[in-house]
Structures are given as structure tokens and as C-alpha cells.
Amino acid sequence: MSDDLVLVTGGTGFLGAHTVVRLIRAGYPVRTTIRNISAVDRFRSMLRAGGVDANAAAAVEVVEADLVADAGWQAAVNGARYVLHVASPYPAVAPRNPDELLIPARDGSLRVLRAAREAGVRRVVLTSSFAAIGYGHPPMERTFTERDWTDPTRPGVEAYQRSKAIAEREAWDFVAREGGSLELSVINPVAMIGPMLATPPSTSMQLMAQILNRAMPALPRLSYGIVDVRDAADLHLLAMTTPAAGGERFLATGGDAVWLTDIARVFRDHLGDAGRRVPLHAMPDTVLRALALVSPFVRPMTHDLGVMKHLDNTKSREMLGWRPRTTEETLIATGESLLRYGLIAHLDPARQRRAR
């Protein structure tokens, strides 16, 4: 049990809700922000879905605050010892105006950091992304670590990747320039999947649902890093409390990257009826490039076709003692969660309930 109040931004998000659940289990008093206070009931129901009892869920203080406005942030951080700044937009399809991603990511982080500094917060743990590490590099097989940075000026770097790289750089610059005694740690997760606490599914979970629902008869030759959302939440807590984590970045990945066809094979092997329609064949690159001409969802996939992005989580393991689940465990939990929420289109609700 700790008396140190922790603020988690974006409590209704996939990672945000899991992080609040983890903090409650660790005995911390928690406050969270949501963009609209009308979502407070949804937030508390997510906590209950994560195994938090009704009394503990009701005890979490909720403050209305939006990343694009100043209102609410000082009240949110006042009295907090730590801030876990998790909130940031991640749409399935990039908006036409890139500023819709950049402004909340960059300006929102700076708002939180300024408010935290003024309130005397000890440490902010910022959720960045592998998007700030692994893009804008030559298309070749290589191993990525926390030392790598996405170059937002390079061709092929999409709006989301650019927003995360710029936002993280500016967060580090702010703390170095005018942060005072405020400490910053950064977590860079790969695709976060795992047990859902509510619908609709996150962007990464939507990709998993598309594989299970055979949205495409064959799978693009793409590699993805995967981390269980519960492990990503644990890593935030470790970065929050480990003295040596101040001033450091941590790559959050359960292991090396895997091909989409490897993901599909796990679903096929472990999910019974739910996995029986999963495609196992690789899509020719020429087909995906043709689809990209008409699909804004597919277009970003073309930049990394056929490239295996190896991932090294040694720093997170050795400095913080982090022990993530295996990729197979995470994928099985993901499929079971999609079943539980009725998101496998070819199974009727009764069969999905039985599959649980």
C-alpha cells in the first residue's frame, strides 16, 4: 500500500484502463482524466471488467481534461506524486489533416509536463510508441533498440509515426530545458493487444479481429512486434518506481517481431472454431500495392513489406526486471477476448459463448 497519488491520463483507453487496474492492485490511490465526464460510468465498468471490485472502482477520482485544451490539467495533477501520461490518439485510418494527430500528441504532452512541473510531481512516465523508433529507416532487416529514432522528415513516415516521434522529442527537450526537478521516463510499446475491457476494440485489436474474420484471403508480408497490454501497464509501473529509470526510454515488446502469418498460425492452432477460417498464406506484394491505391487503411502497410524488424527488449528486462508474457500467450488471450466480446463474425453469439 502506498500513499503516493498517481494520475493516469486517458482512463477509458485500452492501456489507460489496464494501468489503473494494475495501480489499484498495487495499492496506489489513483486519479484519472477523461475527455468527457459523461464517460465516467463506462470507465468504472472497464475497471470492474478488469477484476476491480465496485468500491475500489468508485474510489478512483475522475477529472475532465482534454489534451487540446488547458482546462482541467492543473486540477488533475495537483497532489500527484507520479503522472502516467498514457492518453494519445491512435486512429485506424490516418486523418486527412495530420495536425489532428500531431497537436494532441505534442501539445497535450507539453500541457501535462508543464502542469506536472508546477505541481511538484516527481516523475512523469510518458507513453510514446515504437512509431517513434522504427520508421524512416532504410528498408532492411535490422534490430531496433531504444537508441533508435524515427526520422519524421523521411518519405513513407505516416502521420501517426511522425506525431509520436515529434511529440517524444519535444517532451525530452522540454524537461531538459525547463523541467526543473521533474523526471521523465518514456515507454515505447509495439502493437498492444490482449484482454479487452470494453468495446470498441483498439486499432491493434482491430487488426487481430480482421485476421480472425478473414477480412483478407491472404496476409501481407508484414512483421509486427506484440506486447500484452497488461505487461505494458506493468512496465509503466516499473518505470515509475525504479530510481534508475529517470531519463530513460524503454522498448515494450514481448519478444522479437513476428510475421502476420505466424500470428494467424497461433490463432488457427489454439482457438478452435474461431480460428478455422484464419488465412495462412502470404499475399503477393503486388496485390497489396494495388489495394493501397484505393484503401487508406492499407496504404501505410506498403512501406515495410517484406522487412523483418527485429526487436530487443534487453534494457526493459535488465534495468527494470520486466518479465513479459510470450507472444503466443498474448495472442491466445487476444483471440479469447475477441470471442468474449462477440467480435468473430462467422460465429453466432451462442457459439462464441460456448467457445469462451
pLDDT tens string 19-35: 999 999 999 999 999 99
Cell triple for 107: 501539445
267 in any annotated domain: no
Q: Which domain holds residue 44?
A: 6-261+306-355
Cell triple for 346: 462467422
pLDDT (0 to 100) of residue 165: 95
pLDDT in tens, 174-228: 999 999 999 999 999 999 999 999 999 999 999 999 999 998 889 999 999 999 9
- Report the alpha-carbon distance of residue 349 to residue 21 in Å, rounded: 28
Mean pLDDT of the chain: 92
289 in any annotated domain: no
Q: Say how many domains are in the chain.
A: 1
Q: Are 47 and 58 in contact (CB under 8 A)?
A: no
253 in any annotated domain: yes
Distances (CA, A) of 50 to 8, 54, 171, 196, 344: 16, 11, 31, 9, 21
Higher pLDDT, 140 or 30: 30
280 in any annotated domain: no
Closest Cα partner for 300 from 315, 288, 311? 288
- Report the alpha-carbon distance of residue 184 to residue 171 in Å, rounded: 8
Domain of residue 132, CATH code? 3.40.50.720
- Report the alpha-carbon distance of residue 22 to residue 265 in Å, rounded: 31
pLDDT surpassing 70 at residue 356: no
pLDDT in tens, 79-109: 999 999 999 877 656 667 777 788 888 999 9
277 in any annotated domain: no
199 in any annotated domain: yes
